[in-house]
């Protein structure tokens, strides 16, 4: 999928599902894509979170704050964080196809492996039948991408799959679902995809800033999508029913993590050449502007996706938003005319896990029996870029 400024062009391998926003929507954006149903079905979901928990009470010993102050303003009670020298027992496939259970460093890759394995198990699809692996992340263990190593670890057949990372911050998992669905529905022979959302933003949080460090946690989630009917006669109603995606780089200053290189002189002829040793600044966020952006744009983009799906708010069983702040969820639900009883959230125990937040919450809801086969789920992600998007899914 290739997206160019909407005033110029929008190209895609499966271009028929895309449309350009020409100002007909109430939302103004530098770039947008939307479309209706694609013949794919979400069949499995999985998640994993670090073992270390930091509660609001723990943070009371670090900052002048309180559990009550954090809970009432954010809805968060605790968060999971990756720690230095943490370990985790992970089962990986060897090149000979054998399974090895080993104690390995607990990092984003190992969380991704565990989440992917759980999603594959629920879906009933073998890893060797996966054609595409997308890892949505802004904080990979490997700057060059974690998707290929996760795919290899879970046993994907190296002779048949493609794997790559996708960066769209907190919108990443939703953008990944749409991207994978395009590949599965455009007739290129791909049938099964594994989409991950995984982030470790606590690595880039300023722990000296009480307003931001309270918000974030780490985690990974994964979903298996398939274009195969698998014998179901009611398959015409399943899959991605509609979607809309937007971005506007004019707002990037409100939520960013900027490259910062340290100067390093190498002894080339003459005075030498000053290059960079790479690093990044800590994440910065204008909370008021991001809140205003989210509460303004998320209801609009959800309505846009519902219009593409040809259904109304009344047809939605569950509302699943990026787990950033409970107040944002309350405002969005109210503006859509949906009761909070329909909102899926586990924000209180994970915090904002960026691209992982939607699959983490959906995994809880599916495994608890709250989300059942045939349920319609309106999902929306929003965050840095600025980026925002929505997809209407029918589970099962």
The pair of three-digit structure tokens given for residue 341, joined into one six-digit string: 């009883």
SS (H, E, C) the chain: CEECCCCCCEECCCHHHCECCCCCCCCCCCEEEEECCECCEEEEEEEECCCEEEEHHHHHCCCCCCHHHHHHHHCCCEEEECCCCCEEEEEEECCCCCEEEEEEECCHHHHHHHHHHHHHHHHCCCHHHCCEEEEECCCCCCCCCCHHHHHHHHCCCCCCCEEEEECCHHHHHHHHHHHHHHHHHCCCCCCEEEEEEEEEHHHCCCCCCHHHHCCECEEEEEEEEECCCCCCCCHHHCEEEEEEEEECHHHHHHEECCECCEEEEECCCCCCEEEEECCECCCEECHHHHHHHHHHHHHHHHHHHHHHHCCCHHHCCEEEECCCCHHHHHHHHHHHCCCHHHEECCHHHHCECHHHHHHHHHHHHHHCCCCCCCCEEEEEEEECCCEEEEEEEECC
| Sign of CA pseudo-dihedral 167, 175, 349, 66 | positive
Catalytic annotation present for 322: yes
Q: Which of 56, 107, 248, 352 is catalytic?
A: 352
Q: Is 257 a catalytic residue?
A: no
Task: Determine which one of 192, 248, 318, 322 is catalytic.
Answer: 322
- Bridge partners of 227? none
Rounded CA-CA distance 364/360 in Å is 7
Exposure string over 324-334, b if 16+ CB within 10 A, otherwise e? bbbebbebbbe
d(CA 389, CA 1): 16
Query: What is the rounded CA–CA span in Å between residue 161 and residue 183?
Result: 12
Q: Which of 168, 163, 107, 116 is nearest to 140 (CA)?
A: 107
Please pick, among 170, 213, 257, 379, the residue that the annotation labels catalytic.
170
Is 213 annotated in the active site?
A: no
Residues annotated as part of the active site: 170, 322, 352
């Amino acid at each position: 999928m290739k997206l160019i400024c909407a005033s110029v062009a929008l190209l895609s391998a499966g271009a028929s599902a895309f449309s350009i926003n020409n100002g007909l929507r109430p939302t103004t954006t530098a770039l947008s894509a939307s479309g209706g149903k694609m013949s794919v079905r979400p069949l499995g979901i999985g998640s994993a979170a670090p073992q270390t928990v930091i509660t609001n009470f723990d943070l009371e010993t670090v900052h002048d704050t309180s559990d009550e102050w954090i809970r009432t303003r954010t809805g968060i009670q605790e968060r999971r964080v990756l720690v230095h020298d943490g370990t985790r027992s992970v089962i990986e496939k060897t090149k000979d196809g054998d399974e090895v259970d080993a104690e390995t460093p607990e990092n984003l890759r190992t969380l991704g492996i565990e989440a992917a394995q759980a999603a594959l198990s629920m879906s009933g699809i073998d890893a060797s039948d996966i054609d595409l692996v997308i890892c949505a992340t802004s904080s990979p263990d490997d700057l060059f991408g974690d998707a290929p190593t996760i795919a290899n670890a879970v046993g994907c057949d190296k002779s048949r799959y493609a794997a790559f990372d996708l960066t769209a911050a907190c919108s990443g998992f939703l953008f990944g679902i749409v991207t994978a669905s395009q590949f599965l529905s455009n007739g290129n022979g791909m049938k099964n995809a594994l989409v991950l959302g995984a982030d470790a933003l606590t690595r880039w949080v300023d722990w000296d800033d009480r307003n931001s460090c309270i918000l974030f946690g780490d985690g990974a989630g994964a979903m298996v999508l398939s274009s195969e009917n698998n014998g179901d006669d009611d398959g015409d109603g399943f899959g991605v029913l509609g979607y809309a995606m937007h971005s506007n780089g004019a707002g990037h200053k409100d939520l960013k993590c900027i490259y910062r290189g340290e100067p390093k002189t190498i002894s080339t002829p003459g005075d030498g050449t000053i290059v960079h040793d790479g690093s990044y600044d800590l994440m910065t966020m204008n909370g008021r502007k991001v809140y205003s952006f989210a509460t303004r744009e998320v209801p609009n983009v959800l309505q846009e996706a519902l219009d593409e799906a040809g259904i109304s708010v009344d047809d939605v069983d569950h509302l699943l938003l990026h787990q950033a702040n409970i107040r944002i969820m309350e405002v969005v639900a109210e503006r859509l005319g949906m009761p909070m009883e329909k909102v899926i959230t586990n924000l209180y125990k994970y915090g904002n896990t960026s691209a992982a937040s939607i699959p983490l919450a959906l995994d809880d809801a599916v495994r608890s029996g709250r989300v059942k086969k045939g349920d319609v789920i309106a999902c929306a992600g929003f965050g840095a870029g600025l980026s925002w998007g929505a997809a209407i899914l029918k589970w099962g």
